[in-house]
Chain A
Amino acid sequence: MQRTPDAVFKSLADRTRRTLFERLCREGEQTVRMLTDGSGVSQPAVSKHLGVLKLAGLVRDRHEGRETHYSAHPQALKPLVDWMGVYAAFWSERFDRLEDLLKRMDQ
């Protein structure tokens, strides 16, 4: 399924979702219950946020018994990374030119 960059941007525009996503990236697979503990957000709210992240392709879920386990899928960040990367590459290349110019310039 092809996901649009918009879905990635929009899903990460929410602080709670970014926190959940970062935590899954950092700590690996977690259940909804584990993610709810200490989050300051109710379990239904956490589930809802995870649903949005899942639609954007940023997390994946796996059912085991009664529990749903979520894990991060950071590859889905690619549209965001690509978009910023164009500008980073532009300036990096221009700085190469700047250094070349400085070598040619008089003191």
Chain B
Amino acid sequence: MTDIATETLSVVIERDIAFPPEKIWRALTQPHLIEEWLMKNDFRPVVGHHFSFRMDPQPNWNGVVDCEVLAIEPNKALSYTWGSMGMKTVVTLTLTPTDTGTHLRMEQSGFRPEQQQNYQGAKYGWQRFFANLEQVVARID
């Protein structure tokens, strides 16, 4: 087995929001609210539930994301698979209370640029690589 955690790429977006976790949780888990900020969906907060996100088809994309709920921890964490264009990633949303509201973190993990043997030998964390890369990228014109 390949250790996926150390051989794939992640996108992390973090934001401090001036509302309590309970309120944000509703926006992350109630379908009509999810639709307002993310996409149309038939989400249900039940582990194992299969659902999809849908938007208008794009030139290179049919507009459908196939998902399955992986983990639910009310007001704290939510995780689902994100299958789109033949690539399966995992989205994890985490809520941490702060003095001024909530720290919201989204990690989309499991990007595999080359889903081939090229990645098999790599034991070096991509995450760390990207952390190191930040200053390099800052220099790109």
Query: A residues engaging B (CB < 8 A)?
Result: 5-6, 9-10, 12-15, 18-19, 22, 25, 72, 74-75, 77-78, 80-81, 83-84, 87-88, 91-92, 94-95, 97-102, 105, 107
Tell whether, in the assembled complex, residue A91 and residue B13 are in contact, meaning their CB atoms are under 8 Å apart.
Answer: yes
* Bound form: Cα–Cα A12–B9 in Å: 12
Q: Give complex CA distance A88, B135 in Å.
A: 17
Residues from chain B with a CB closer than 8 A to the CB of A14 are 118, 121-122
Residues of A near B4 (CB, < 8 A) are: none
A-B contact pairs, 14 of them (CB 8 A): A9-B114, A13-B114, A13-B121, A18-B129, A22-B129, A25-B136, A74-B136, A77-B136, A87-B11, A95-B13, A98-B38, A102-B23, A102-B27, A105-B23
**Contact (A97, B124) CB under 8 Å given A74-B140, A83-B113, A107-B23:** no
Q: Separation in Å of the B22 CB from the closest CB of chain A?
A: 9
Bound-state Cα–Cα, A97 to B24, Å: 12
Q: Is B111 interfacial (CB 8 A cutoff)? A: yes
Q: Which residues of A contact B137 (CB under 8 A)?
A: 74, 77, 81
Please determine whether B114 and A6 come into contact, CB atoms closer than 8 angstroms.
yes
